[in-house]
Amino acid sequence: MADIERHDYDVIVIGAGGAGLRAAIEARSRGLRTAVVCKSLFGKAHTVMAEGGIAASMGNVNSRDNWQVHYRDTMRGGKFLNNWRMAELHAKEAPQRVWELETYGALFDRTPEGKISQRNFGGHEYPRLAHVGDRTGLELIRTLQQKIVSLQQEDHAEHGDYEARLRVYPECTVTELLLDEGRIAGAFAYWRENGRFLRLEAPTVVLATGGIGKSFKVTSNSWEYTGDGHALALRAGANLIDMEFVQFHPTGMVYPPSVKGILVTESVRGDGGVLRDAEGRRFMFDYVPEVFKGSYADSEQEADGWYSDPDNNRRPPELLPRDEVARAINSEVKEGRGSPHGGVYLDVASRLPAEEIARRLPSMHHQFKELADVDITAESMEVGPTCHYVMGGVEVDPDTAASGVAGLFAAGEAAGGMHGSNRLGGNSLGDLLVFGKRAGAGAAEYVAGLGARPEVSQADVEAAEQRALRPFEESGSAAAQHPYALHGELQQVMNELVGIIRRGEEMSSALDELAELKDRAGHMAVFEGNRQFNPAWHLTLDVANMLLVSECVARAALRRTESRGGHTRDDHPGMDATWRRRQLVCEHRDGAVTVTERTHPPMRRDLLELFDITELRKYFTADELGEVTAEL
């Protein structure tokens, strides 16, 4: 135990993506001694991969945009299952968070009049995504990091120490949350480089650990997306909600195999790109669902007219929410109208001049040239669905981001509720800024109201150390299991049996297979090497988290007997209004995952009034409609 580093803070932020950095800035600005712990290099969080932009109704390109329209779009995208208070806060506050980024030094693309430029994206009624080419996430992280550095310089000026109130622990993984009688007391972590352990003490933890995509074989997600925050929260006693809703982005690369799943940004379609089948037909006109009929064009002429005259034409169906487009692509491929490598064609080459494509979509141009030897200014791209985002996450209070465990907060992709059954593109970057800030503020308020600080128990630290080292002990055992093999099997199970199109019996067999993998995972071993940068050891810890979170996804998906948003059941096609207000809650008790149903609270009256009753009729049950009409 002698070699365990020990540090003391007011708040530990786990994760240095957009949510974590914004939370840390807020906490530090409110005077808290703040640690930021991230398993990636500082500046390399998943957020840097974000391409299209940040959704915020600034109205710079269409002055009719406002928070109410954004709110409506978000609720429609989530098929009315969203936590409406979160959607409201997000729609209201995202513009302020974008302007604030400018004050931190962000350089957005501009309109001809010099305002922040905003682009079209699926499901957003007006051009709404503030962007920096197709590298928005990189600029967002660069800017937030710059702000952190400036705060550290202030601390140096005041205390003679850059890290007096804000320290970053890069390449450092948290394996456990430490509790004192049910309250957060700290976190246990290790340095990835040398395998040495850390005991971080603090009364608050903000989970900003991102998503779970690495549990699936085909994914746009980076290596860090192993559901650590989701698993840490569950084990500490917090609830996860909406875990059945996993977003499959319609356009990932499908070829060559080594790059399968890498994202092709929605900006390609936002900027005019269209989807075609093997015959060159624009098939999306066949897939406009009943709830969206009336808002989308039914001819190519009208769809094309929308780009230059959105007031007199309806939107192209290529810009339907992601779940609709992903399902449509899946059907085309299944019907034998796909491309040679099992996708469809995304064509921007015939739609925009080559120099315009290279200017607006530089990363896509580079990505296809380098990885697939395809010149997107001259040829179509082959694309297909890829696991992209998890709508489910830690259940939090919308205003403070507090979970059900005292002192534990969550924001960004790790938190659930905001996006309902399906996230609109661009709403994640808005989400992580709005709720990152709120989580930092929530933690500060909690600390201010705290009496005696919780204490870390030595026994808990020793137990955490023992658990982390167990894969070394297993190496000699006859039952030893290889983490890479287990990870591969897990990804296969999730992709094939709990993927984009689901069936009851397949998910039941997925649960059997997950149980078997869980048993074997108890014997995961490192086999070679010691604690110094040892990826196999790191993976043993990640796989345990992925298995726990995957079980939540599979159990919740089996329970929800309807299709809605990111959850599509072949055996229960179509939305069932009786499920709309029902939310599935995952808990971890005595080592087992349980799923229970809960009813969403009814939407506040002034928010209900933003919708036409004919639209609500498409989603609500007759009883609910009765309540609503009485209300209105």
Residues that bind ligand FAD (CB under 6 A): 14-20, 37-40, 45-47, 49-53, 136-137, 173-174, 208-210, 220-221, 224, 228, 263, 389, 412-414, 425-429, 432
Quickly tell me which residue has 């120099």 as its tokens.
355
210/316 with CB nearer ligand FAD? 210
226/377 with CB nearer ligand FAD? 226
Report the alpha-carbon distance of residue 546 to residue 495 in Å, rounded.
13
- Find the shortest distance in angstroms from Cβ 39 to ligand FAD: 4
SS3 assignment, position 372: helix
Report the alpha-carbon distance of residue 191 to residue 552 in Å, rounded.
29
Quickly tell me which residue has 């930021």 as its tokens.
36
40/563 with CB nearer ligand FAD? 40
Which among 274, 256, 267, 269 has a CA at the least distance from the CA of 370?
256
- Find the shortest distance in angstroms from Cβ 220 to ligand FAD: 4
The CA-atom distances, in angstroms, between 169 and each of 40, 198, 276, 625 are 10, 10, 47, 52
Active site residue 322: yes
- Find the shortest distance in angstroms from Cβ 208 to ligand FAD: 5
53/499 with CB nearer ligand FAD? 53
Helix, strand, coil percentages, rounded to 5, for the chain: 40, 20, 40
- The number of residues in the chain equals 632
218 in Cβ contact with 494 (< 8 Å) = no
187/333 with CB nearer ligand FAD? 187
Measure CA of the first residue to CA of the last residue in the chain; give whole Å: 64
Question: What would the DSSP string read from start to end of 276-312?
Answer: E-TTS--GGGGG--GGGTTTB-SSHHHHHHHHH-TTT
Starting at the earlier edge strand, list the strands of the sheet with 393-394: 393-394, 240-241, 582-589, 592-599
572/588 with CB nearer ligand FAD? 588
- Find the shortest distance in angstroms from Cβ 323 to ligand FAD: 15
425/483 with CB nearer ligand FAD? 425
Which among 60, 66, 35, 32 has a CA at the least distance from the CA of 131?
60
Report the alpha-carbon distance of residue 557 to residue 569 in Å, rounded.
9
Q: Residue 590 region, left (φ>0) first, then alpha (ψ -120 to 50), else beta?
A: left
Q: Which residue is nearest to ligand FAD (CB)?
A: 17
**Residues forming beta bridges with residue 184, ordered by sequence position:** 179
The CA-atom distances, in angstroms, between 111 and each of 54, 115, 132 are 16, 5, 12
- Find the shortest distance in angstroms from Cβ 263 to ligand FAD: 4
- Give me 298's structure tokens: 């039914």
SS3 assignment, position 75: helix
Secondary structure of 481-534 in the HEC alphabet? ECHHHHHHHHHHHHHHHCCCCECHHHHHHHHHHHHHHHHHHCCECCCCCCCCCC
Catalytic residue among 76, 128, 322, 569: 322
Residues catalogued as catalytic: 322
